[in-house]
Structure 1
Amino acid sequence: MTKKIILLFLLMTTSLSAQEGNFSPYSFFGVGNNTFKGTTENRSMGGISMFSDSIHLNLQNPAAYSKLKLTNFSIGATANSLELEQGSTTDDINFSSVDYIGVGIPLNKFGVGFGLKPLSSVGYEIQSLEGDVAKSLNGRGGINTVYLSGGFNIIDNLSVGLSLNYNFGDIENKNLIAQNGIERSSREINSSDINGLTYNLGIQHDFKFKNKFRVRSSVSFSPESTLNINNERQLATIIFGNDGSEIVIDSNDPIESSSEVDFGSKINAGLGIGQDRKWFAGIEYEYQSASNFDAINFNNNVDINFIESSQVKLGGYFIPRYNAPRGYFNRIVYRAGLRYSETGLEFRGESIDEFGISFGVGLPAGRYFTNINFGAEYWMRGTTSNNLIQENYFSFFVSLSFNDLWFQKPKYN
């Protein structure tokens, strides 16, 4: 199994690093859209991060690794159907992405984990025609995170955790301008390489209520962080080939600069109640101070403001009877949730917000509680006010959660 995990990790790392995973005009701003909304299991419950158990990974709060009882390998992917709406005009786009890959290993009261997940994603193509001038703006790329996490059970029902994250990626934005009657067109390419270290802390606490219900509280915190950014800007005049290719006629030497982007501090607090292996319901609130992306100077203008962001999430699950000897549907996990988010982006005086409602199921699929998880979410971003674009998504996501016994002492010689 170790060799399989290493091989899958290498394959998925290449896939996650290379994909676009996004198609949103709002990803033009800053370092792109925040695309990670938790594992399939958590996302199906509105994205709440407080819930963790012994057989699923929780990639949002590192304290959850102390709950693992089995070695877990998990991968997740999403297929999106997107409708872009502006006034009376609509456009439909379909795209898919690999969401995350992670491994968690229990070591008595301590648990460790490592893996790869996205931090942000950029993907858009905007075309306009004003008189005899045609403009095309497109972008690609994003930031990925390789993480190493650990969670420790200090005393019964109280766990703390720490995640160290190395963030890396590149963003490319290309602007083309062509005018009718003029043979040559103008092209501007802005490239940004971004990297740096961040970390986050987590705490989880449980206690029994009336010896029947379990109350869980959680807090996670990420301090203000800075990532390094190396910018390159190149201008060129081009002509288009018969196949649409861009043929450079003249170009200047690239203009290079180095700077930093600043991410605001983030705190997440949640509270929930339930019965073990029966049901759970919880609520979370997340707040992040304003970030500073002035170093990415190609998309700065007076219409953009980066402000504080916040998010409220509600969700939970229900299992009819987890250990039912008969009746497969009795052992299925049924999940649901909703979320509302102020993303921290203001454009033309309008706050770019998100709202989503999600559902999902967890299907037992093998020994050691290995399971397949499916989820679906309908969510919206943005608004049609002030001639802006509203994005209407239907997302279908799936994860495979493999469990196995590692580091077990032999019972027989």
Structure 2
Amino acid sequence: MIKKIIVSFGLLFAISSQAQEGTASPYSFYGIGDVKFKGAVENRSMGGVSVFSDSIHMNLQNPAHLASLKLTTFTVGGTSLNTTLKTENAKEKARRVTLDYLAVGIPAGKLGIGFGVIPYSSVGYKINQSADETNQFTTQYNGIGGINKVFFGMAYKITKKLNFGVDAQYNFGTIETTSFRFLTGVQDGTIEENFSRIQGFNFTTGLAYETKVSKKYTLFSSLVYSPEAKLQFTNERTITVDDQEDIRPAENLKLNLPSKIMFGAGFGEVKKWVVGAEITLQQNSDLKNRFDDITGVKFENSTRYSLGGYFIPNYNSFSSYLKKITYRGGLRYENTGMVLQNKSIEDFAVNLGVSLPLSGTFSNVNVGFEMGKRGTKYFNLIEENYFNLSVGLSFSDKWFERRKFN
């Protein structure tokens, strides 16, 4: 039954990831779009902290944790995005529903294997802008698309305390942007259409270490590194004036996918409570735009701080379902690496969540809530106030157990 569910979800995900508009942020106009992926729902519910090992949940941020799986695990997640966009003079609301990830993890003794697909970044904006003080000219900008990642990872339990893992990722996708410029009162105008086809490879390595510091308490630590990689952008540009198309050459580019290092530590009683913190450093200063004529933005190195943990009232409770629920919470702050009007764009969020066990199984439903703010309404910029509801399903079972009787 679970295998049929996985196939159904896989087909749905393959179709939806190509068609979905995963963001409503004007900031997705720049760079490679709005980087949406911040981990599985259970990790995002803790502010993005991913330092803890888990035997029944896939950790999509550190491949080393694949070696900690005890059961074959299928996981899928989606989010309802609710955003209020503010400037000093206006306010708009937007809503999107996205599929965030689909993955399978398979334990094989000391080895763990995982594979799946993740929509990594999204482009989705509609902007109206007056071109001059007389408001005679108006320009409208539209954008849609993004980058998806297909990954395959392996991890090995070097010792009882130390795991090492690596995953390879193939990036692919398309981004379409259109600008309309027209004179007030005139029917025809100028339309510029830009189309980018993206592809490229990168990989991630990770270490995960845990050790008992007493009979009850465990210390966790982790290190993840992704070296810089190249994304190939094959660009096309079409300009239409008074219904006359003019296809003009657009330079194909190789853009850097920035290097990233993440390290963290955690402490707690595994089946009761754990708290942890992580820092992520990303070399965003090497990032560029999809077309050389996009101006007004600079990039700087980014830093993300995550703090979070979980609490389980009574892991073995038979009398109260509420006591078996895992309650999660966390905080996240990051300097996104984007600089507009000489102002660094910052993002801050508060996270809460629960893991609801399914009776008689090791599977569960993960629900996460995120409330935060990105950017500012001052300096001629846009402030995004968002509330996101995420739901993840994690199915765990023994798939490859040898039969004792025929």
Q: Which range, TM-score by smaller chain?
A: over 0.9
- Which among 160, 174, 177 is matched to residue 173 of structure 1? 177
Q: Counterpart of 1:193 in structure 2: which amino acid?
A: R
Partner of 1:98: helix, strand, or coil? strand
Please say if residues 259 and 295 of structure 1, whose CA atoms lie closer than 8 Å, have aligned partners that are also in contact.
no
The CA deviation string for residues 392-413 of structure 1, in whole angstroms up to 9 with x for no partner, is 0001111111111111122344
Cα drift, residue 33 of structure 1: 1.0
Partner of 1:410: helix, strand, or coil? coil
The CA deviation string for residues 169-198 of structure 1, in whole angstroms up to 9 with x for no partner, is 111110001113434210001111110000
Whether 2:366 is the aligned partner of 1:373: answer yes
Partner of 1:200: helix, strand, or coil? strand
Cα drift, residue 94 of structure 1: 1.4
The separation in 1 between residues aligned to 2:52 and 2:378, in whole angstroms, is 37
The separation in 1 between residues aligned to 2:359 and 2:244, in whole angstroms, is 61
Q: Which runs of 5+ in 2 are unaligned?
A: none
Please say if residues 263 and 291 of structure 1, whose CA atoms lie closer than 8 Å, have aligned partners that are also in contact.
no
Please say if residues 175 and 187 of structure 1, whose CA atoms lie closer than 8 Å, have aligned partners that are also in contact.
yes
Map of 1:125-164 to 2, 5 A cutoff?
Answer: 125-129=126-130, 130=132, 131-164=135-168
Q: Counterpart of 1:328 in structure 2: which amino acid?
A: Y
The CA deviation string for residues 265-310 of structure 1, in whole angstroms up to 9 with x for no partner, is 1000000001121111000001011354446225521x31111011
Cα drift, residue 203 of structure 1: 0.3
The separation in 1 between residues aligned to 2:98 and 2:372, in whole angstroms, is 17
The separation in 1 between residues aligned to 2:337 and 2:215, in whole angstroms, is 42
The separation in 2 between residues aligned to 1:63 and 1:299, in whole angstroms, is 41
The CA deviation string for residues 326-358 of structure 1, in whole angstroms up to 9 with x for no partner, is 110010000000010011100010000100000
For residue 229 of structure 2, what is the aligned residue in structure 1?
A: 225
CA RMSD in angstroms comes to 1.4
Change beyond 3 A, Cα 1:385–1:183: closer
Cα drift, residue 229 of structure 1: 0.8
Whether 2:327 is the aligned partner of 1:323: answer no
Partner of 1:387: helix, strand, or coil? coil
The separation in 1 between residues aligned to 2:209 and 2:103, in whole angstroms, is 23
Whether 2:283 is the aligned partner of 1:289: answer yes
For residue 272 of structure 1, what is the aligned residue in structure 2?
A: 266
The separation in 1 between residues aligned to 2:317 and 2:352, in whole angstroms, is 23
- Which among 287, 301, 308 is matched to residue 301 of structure 2? 308
Q: Counterpart of 2:79 in structure 1: which amino acid?
A: T
Partner of 1:367: helix, strand, or coil? coil
The CA deviation string for residues 139-178 of structure 1, in whole angstroms up to 9 with x for no partner, is 0101000000111101111000001000001111100011
Q: Counterpart of 1:5 in structure 2: which amino acid?
A: I
The separation in 1 between residues aligned to 2:5 and 2:92, in whole angstroms, is 41
The separation in 1 between residues aligned to 2:48 and 2:362, in whole angstroms, is 22
For residue 258 of structure 1, what is the aligned residue in structure 2?
A: 252
Map of 1:371-410 to 2, 5 A cutoff?
Answer: 371-410=364-403
The separation in 1 between residues aligned to 2:99 and 2:212, in whole angstroms, is 38
For residue 107 of structure 2, what is the aligned residue in structure 1?
A: 106
Please say if residues 137 and 176 of structure 1, whose CA atoms lie closer than 8 Å, have aligned partners that are also in contact.
yes
The separation in 1 between residues aligned to 2:212 and 2:305, in whole angstroms, is 25
Whether 2:86 is the aligned partner of 1:85: answer yes
Partner of 1:193: helix, strand, or coil? strand
For residue 182 of structure 1, what is the aligned residue in structure 2?
A: 186
Cα drift, residue 390 of structure 1: 0.5
Q: Which runs of 5+ in 1 are unaligned?
A: 239-248
The separation in 2 between residues aligned to 1:213 and 1:20, in whole angstroms, is 44
Please say if residues 16 and 100 of structure 1, whose CA atoms lie closer than 8 Å, have aligned partners that are also in contact.
no
For residue 348 of structure 2, what is the aligned residue in structure 1?
A: 355
Partner of 1:211: helix, strand, or coil? coil
For residue 241 of structure 1, what is the aligned residue in structure 2?
A: none
For residue 39 of structure 2, what is the aligned residue in structure 1?
A: 38
The separation in 2 between residues aligned to 1:259 and 1:45, in whole angstroms, is 37
Change beyond 3 A, Cα 1:175–1:307: same
For residue 52 of structure 2, what is the aligned residue in structure 1?
A: 51
Please say if residues 30 and 289 of structure 2, whose CA atoms lie closer than 8 Å, have aligned partners that are also in contact.
no
Cα drift, residue 3 of structure 1: 4.6
For residue 339 of structure 1, what is the aligned residue in structure 2?
A: 332
The separation in 1 between residues aligned to 2:233 and 2:287, in whole angstroms, is 10
Please say if residues 75 and 395 of structure 2, whose CA atoms lie closer than 8 Å, have aligned partners that are also in contact.
yes
Change beyond 3 A, Cα 1:180–1:384: closer
The CA deviation string for residues 103-159 of structure 1, in whole angstroms up to 9 with x for no partner, is 111111111111111221110000124522121101010100000011110111100
The separation in 1 between residues aligned to 2:254 and 2:401, in whole angstroms, is 46
Cα drift, residue 254 of structure 1: 4.0
Instruction: Tell me the TM-score normalized by structure 1.
Output: 0.94
Whether 2:63 is the aligned partner of 1:62: answer yes
Partner of 1:369: helix, strand, or coil? coil
Q: Counterpart of 1:155 in structure 2: which amino acid?
A: T
Map of 1:110-125 to 2, 5 A cutoff?
Answer: 110-125=111-126
- Which among 196, 212, 215 is matched to residue 211 of structure 1? 215
The separation in 1 between residues aligned to 2:120 and 2:253, in whole angstroms, is 19
Partner of 2:34: helix, strand, or coil? coil
Partner of 1:155: helix, strand, or coil? coil
Q: Counterpart of 1:194 in structure 2: which amino acid?
A: I
Instruction: Tell me the TM-score normalized by structure 2.
Output: 0.96
Partner of 2:319: helix, strand, or coil? coil
Change beyond 3 A, Cα 1:213–1:169: same
Please say if residues 185 and 237 of structure 1, whose CA atoms lie closer than 8 Å, have aligned partners that are also in contact.
yes
Q: Counterpart of 2:195 in structure 1: which amino acid?
A: S
Cα drift, residue 320 of structure 1: 0.6
